[in-house]
Each structure stands twice: as C-alpha cells, then as structure tokens.
Amino acid sequence: MGVLAVYCLLSFSTPQVSAQISKNKIKNSTWQGYYETKGGNRMNCKVVLNGSSGTYHTSDGSGRLRNVEYNFDNDPSNGDWFVRISADWYLTQNWGGKYGGEVSWTTSSDNYKNLSGDYDINGNRGGAWNCRLQSFNGGNDDFDLGGGGGGMDKCVDYSDWKYNDRKCYYYRTCQFPGGGYQYVIYYPDTDPEWVFWYNPKSEKYWCSCPTVKHPKYGKKVRNGHEYFHRCSQPAREIEDCEWEDEITTSCTAKNDRGESIDLAGLPTDLP
C-alpha cells in the first residue's frame, strides 16, 4: 500500500472541540504546487482531498487517491495539534487506474501550509512533490489561511512557460477563479533572480518574486517558501517601478468580481 503522509501543525484555543471540526475540514481540502519528473522537470499539480478518497490533477495527467486515512494527535512538546494522512495514489489517465506508488509529505518547519516531500513509482524514487494549502472546500475555515474572505479560499491556476519571440522573455499566465488573469514574466538574460507580475488591465508591473537563482532567497524558494516584493509605485517599465522596503510571504490580487485572490502556489521551475 502506498502511503501519503501529511503532518500539519495546527494551533487551537480549545483543542478538544476545534480538532474535531478541523479534522472534517482537512478531509475536504485543496492543495496546489508541483512535482518533479525523473528528468528534473517541474509539473504543476493540484491535490484535492474528499474524505476517504481524493484526486490530483497535473499538466501530465490526472489521478486518484484511495484508502485515505486521517489520524489526529498532539505534539507533546507544545500541545499543538497535527494530522497524519495516508493514502494510495493511482494514475488514471495513462495507466488505466492501476496502482502507481507511494508519496510522503511533511510540513515545513515554520509553516503548516507548505508541504514538501517526494514520491516513488512502484518502489523507484520519482522526485520531489511540494504543495501549499489553498482552501478548505466549502468555506467557513476554522483557522486563518492568511487573511480575508471573498476569493481567498479559491485556487489560482498557473500555466506552463511560453516564450515571447518579439520581446525575448518567458511568461506564464495566472488564471483567477471568478475571472481575470495576470502574467508572470521572466527575463533570463537581464533579471534571472526575479520573476515579475504584470497586470494586463493596467499595463503595469506591480510585484516581483525571487527565483531559485536568487542569492539570498533561492534555497528557501526551492524548498517551497514564497516571497513577494510589491511596488509602492507600479509602472509600465520595470526600471521605472518603485519598490516597497518589505518583502512579504503572501500576496493577493483582485479578480473580475473584485475579490481578493491569494497568489500562493507559484511554481518554482524556470524555462
């Protein structure tokens, strides 16, 4: 049996009551991130848990999670609750529903919303598989996912990289739930340490994120951490932008309905 192990550190003021409520929430939750192929390529991936089963959707195919089990416990060192989730994974699109292998995840040391781990294919290691908590399906979250209501509990969808021959840069699209999209642009020759957010409505750059090539943040980015450097004064050209002093670990943008959408889950692969 394949094992999908997830360790989520969750703090509550009344553990006996909140743990049971959050157990139901974890059983219906959505995670987004990427997995690495044997060749080292990173593929976008969304994982959805639905009780004793689940699904995952990637740019390489879709699959199912079966025999999902949830075990809650508390850390004796600090009393915080955590949950262990075990499951088998199957790749349904290409393998006709046959058993695929094992996957194991753990939270990062300082953020329960980030999962890092790896998977194997029938006993042979496949690669890394990292995810970030996106939502509790059905809303009414029992603890804060990073701010606000509205569209905060919905997932954005990041496309693969494409190349603009005329302007000589790579870009991927970030599609918003509720309508709308923005571009993430990468200039490998001039700014390999950053990707830049571009709003096609305002036609301005307004934020940037460090890449795995960044000398300070690169290692943490590779391990699933996210950083956003917003502009205090967006501009049509990057060199004209004025940047805020602080770099944050989360960021939102407005969809077509005016809802705040969490931009978490930006893949770390570069073209």
Q: What is the pLDDT of residue 184?
A: 97
Rounded CA separation 137/135 (Å): 6
In a shared domain, residues 74 and 105: yes
Would the pLDDT of 81 be above 70?
no
Half-sphere CA count of 162, side-chain side, radius 13 A: 9
Residue 138 pLDDT grade (very low, low, confident, very high; cuts 50, 70, 90): low
| CATH number of the domain bearing residue 73 | 2.40.160
The one-letter code for the residue type at 43 is: M
In a shared domain, residues 117 and 227: no
Q: 44 burial class (0-12, 13-18, 19+ CB within 10 angstroms)?
A: buried
In a shared domain, residues 114 and 33: yes
- With respect to residue 108, please indicate whether it lies within any of the assigned structural domains: yes
Would the pLDDT of 88 be above 90?
no
How many domains, the chain? 2
Residue 173 pLDDT grade (very low, low, confident, very high; cuts 50, 70, 90): very high
The residue segments making up the domain with residue 173 are 157-262
In a shared domain, residues 235 and 167: yes
Asked whether 270 and 212 are in contact (CB, 8 A), the reply is yes
In a shared domain, residues 22 and 129: yes
> Which residues lie below 8 Å from residue 132, measured CB to CB, with a gap of 6+?
31, 32, 33, 113, 114, 115, 224, 226, 264, 265
- The 8-class DSSP code of residue 176 comes to P
Rounded CA separation 121/127 (Å): 9
Would the pLDDT of 140 be above 80?
no
- With respect to residue 4, please indicate whether it lies within any of the assigned structural domains: no
Rounded CA separation 4/45 (Å): 15
- The 8-class DSSP code of residue 161 comes to -
Asked whether 65 and 1 are in contact (CB, 8 A), the reply is no
Residue 115 pLDDT grade (very low, low, confident, very high; cuts 50, 70, 90): confident
Q: What is the pLDDT of residue 230?
A: 96
In a shared domain, residues 177 and 226: yes
Mean pLDDT of 191-211: 97
Handedness of CA 95, 98, 100, 105 (dihedral sign): positive
* Residue 171, token pair as written in the block: 């870009």
Nearest partner of 194 among 215, 208, 177, 182, judged by Cα: 208
For 206-259, the pLDDT digits (tens) are: 999 999 999 999 988 876 678 899 999 999 999 999 999 999 888 889 999 998
Q: What is the pLDDT of residue 181?
A: 96
Rounded CA separation 178/160 (Å): 21
Instruction: Return the number of other C-beta atoms located less than 10 Å from residue 48's C-beta.
Output: 19
Residues in the chain: 271
Nearest partner of 264 among 186, 193, 209, 202, judged by Cα: 209
Mean pLDDT of 137-143: 45
Rounded CA separation 102/114 (Å): 19
Rounded CA separation 228/209 (Å): 5
Three-state SS string across 212-245, please?
CCCCCCHHHHHCCCCCEEEEEEEECCHHHCEECC
In a shared domain, residues 129 and 174: no
